[in-house]
Structure 1
Amino acid sequence: MPKQARLSGIKSYRCYTLKEAAALVGVSPRTIRNWIRDGLQLLDASYPPLIRGDDLRAHINAQREGRKVKTGLCEFYCLRCRACRGPAGAMADYEITGNKAMLTAICDVCETLMCKPVSLTSLSAIRAKLDLTIKRDELAL
C-alpha cells in the first residue's frame, strides 16, 4: 500500500463501489469505510454504496490540506512535538552550500534538532530575528 492515496486515476463523474475506489486510490476497503465515517459523501443510501469520483478526490485533498503546517520564516516544524516551534534561545545555524542554505536549530520545548531549507535572499530577515552562526561549505568556494 502506498503511503499516500493516489489521485491520478480518479474520474470526476464516475461512480465507484467501495472495492473499486480502494483499488483505484491504492488503499484498503476498510480505509474507504473509515473515510465515509469521517465525512466522505456517498451518492445515496442505495446498496452497494457508490462514491462519486469528484467527492473522493475532494475528500483526499481536504485530508492533505488538513495535515499541512505553515511555519514562519524563523519557525521550524519539530518532528518529535509534531508542531510549529521556535528555536531555543532564538539561536540557529545558517549553513550555505553552493546556492542552497539550511537553517538548523534546537526545539525550544523538547530539545530535538530541527532543520529547514531557506533561500539565500532571506538571510537579512532571519538575522534580524535570530542570533545566527553562519557556516559556509569550503568545497563550494
Structure 2
Amino acid sequence: IFFILMSVVGMLEGMQIAFFAVAKYTPEERGNSKFQKMTCQLLFKGDGKNLPGFMIGRQLMVVSCMFFIARVTSVSIPEGGSNIFDVPDGVQEFFNTGLLGALITTIVASIAWQLVASAFPLAFLANPITYIFLRICL
C-alpha cells in the first residue's frame, strides 16, 4: 500500500505541474490523443474554472495520502527495546520522529514526479490515470 500511495501522490503532484504547463498552450497544441483531449476539455471547461477546483481536490487527496504514508513510515520503538538494524539510540530516535519517511516521500513522491511532468506535460495528459484522478479531484 505504501508504493500505491506514493504513486498516487506522485501522479497528483505531476498533474499539477503538467496542467499549469499545458494551460499556456493553445488548444491545438494540447495534443491529439483521446485522453489528452478528454483531460483538456474537462480541465478547461467553463473558462478554466475546473483548474482551481482540481487544485483543491488534489490538495485534499495529497494530504490524505500523506497521513497514511506517515503512519506507515513511522516507527516507534519503546525505550529499552531493541533498535531497528541495531543502530545507536540517537539514530533510532531520529527514526522514531518520522522525518525519514517525510524526506523519502518528499523526494520520491513529489519532486521526482514534478520534474518528469515539467519535462513531458503532454505525456502526463495522455495517461488515462490522469483523467481518472482529475475526475476524482473535481
Normalising by structure 1, what TM-score? 0.29
Structure label with greater radius of gyration? 1
Q: Which has the higher contact order (CA 8 A, sep 6+)?
A: 2
Q: Higher helix share goes to which structure?
A: 2
